[in-house]
C-alpha cells in the first residue's frame, strides 16, 4: 500500500515530512509524478511547480530506510533514454534497491 505525493503542491520539506510519516506508519511506497511540459490549463489547475522526480527521490532515499520510492510515471518520450536510465540506476543505488521505475508516455504533454 502506498501514496502519491502531490508534489505540485508541496515544498521539498513537506514532501520529506510526508514521506517520513508514511514510512513511520508502515506504508509500502511513496510515488512522485513527472511533468516536463504541461498545457496552460494543466498548470492553472495543478500549478507550475514540478520538481525533478529523480532528484527528489534520490533525496528521499537518503532520508528513509525501508519504504519503496517510485516514479508514477516518468514521461520517457521527453527524456533521453540513456540519461533517464542512468538517473534511475543512481536512485536505485542510493535507495539500496528500493526504487520502482514507472515509465509512460504522459497524458498532457
- Is the pLDDT assigned to residue 54 strictly greater than 60? yes
Residue 74 lies in a domain: yes
Asked whether residue 30 is domain-assigned, the answer is no
pLDDT at 50 over 90: no
State residue 109's pLDDT score. 55
Alpha helices in the chain (DSSP H): 12-25, 40-46, 53-63, 81-94
8 within some domain: no
pTM of the model: 0.91
> Per the structure, how many domains does the chain have?
1
Domain assignment present for residue 6? The answer is no
Percent share of the chain, pLDDT over 70: 98
From CA 76, how far away is CA 53, in angstroms rounded? 12
In a domain, 75, yes or no: yes
Is the pLDDT assigned to residue 35 strictly greater than 90? Answer: no
Mean per-residue pLDDT for 18-23? 98
What's the pLDDT score for residue 49? 80
State the average pLDDT for the chain: 93
Dihedral angle over CA of 70, 73, 77, 82, nearest 10: 10
| Domain extent at residue 84 | 51-109
- Average confidence (pLDDT) over 89-105: 97
Amino acid at each position: 500500500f502506498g501514496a502519491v505525493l502531490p508534489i505540485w503542491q508541496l515544498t521539498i520539506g513537506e514532501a520529506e515530512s510526508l514521506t517520513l510519516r508514511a514510512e513511520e506508519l508502515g506504508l509500502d511506497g511513496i510515488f512522485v509524478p513527472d511533468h516536463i511540459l504541461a498545457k496552460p490549463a494543466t498548470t492553472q489547475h495543478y500549478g507550475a511547480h514540478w520538481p525533478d522526480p529523480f532528484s527528489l527521490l534520490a533525496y528521499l532515499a537518503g532520508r528513509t530506510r525501508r519504504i519503496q520510492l517510485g516514479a508514477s510515471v516518468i514521461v520517457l518520450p521527453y527524456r533521453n533514454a540513456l540519461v533517464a536510465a542512468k538517473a534511475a540506476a543512481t536512485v536505485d543505488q542510493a535507495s539500496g534497491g528500493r526504487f520502482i521505475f514507472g515509465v509512460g508516455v504522459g497524458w498532457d504533454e
